[in-house]
């Protein structure tokens, strides 16, 4: 399994939850992925949850920060920060989300926790 096979986005369908931005890289390329789950109380729990799957991709992976996602049926709001990993670059996160969900309104803010 290489970088191309790793999904760019895996987030819950609805709700307010924490997310992390992860940078993957191998010898030839790199990319960012977004992960967010309501069943994870801490940003580190998200990283732990996806780390095993990322090891199958045979690539380096680094958490670049986190925040929160508020997702409804027609919009996604990205905001806040992670106390453990710091604030993700929400503009990168939103760019990835817009490719995955072109039909949704997606906005970001550095406000909030």
Alpha helices in the chain (DSSP H): 43-56, 90-100
Q: For this structure, is 103 an active site residue?
A: no
Cα separation values, 28 from 2, 20, 23, 38, Å: 11, 23, 14, 33
Asked if 76 contacts 97 with a C-beta cutoff of 8 angstroms, the reply is: yes
How many degrees, rounded to 5, is the angle at CA 57 between CA 33 and CA 62? 45
Give the single-character DSSP code of 58. Answer: T
Q: Which of 43, 61, 90, 103 is catalytic?
A: 43
Active site (catalytic) residues: 43
């Amino acid at each position: 399994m290489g970088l191309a096979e790793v999904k760019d986005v895996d987030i819950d369908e609805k709700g307010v939850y924490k997310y992390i931005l992860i940078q993957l890289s191998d010898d030839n390329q790199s990319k960012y992925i977004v992960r967010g789950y309501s069943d994870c109380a801490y940003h580190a729990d998200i990283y732990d949850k996806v780390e095993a799957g990322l090891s199958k991709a045979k690539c380096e992976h680094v958490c670049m920060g986190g925040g929160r996602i508020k997702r409804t049926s027609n919009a996604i709001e990205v905001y806040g920060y992670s106390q453990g990993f710091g604030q993700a670059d929400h503009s990168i996160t939103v760019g990835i989300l817009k490719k995955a969900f072109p039909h949704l309104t997606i906005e970001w803010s550095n406000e909030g926790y």
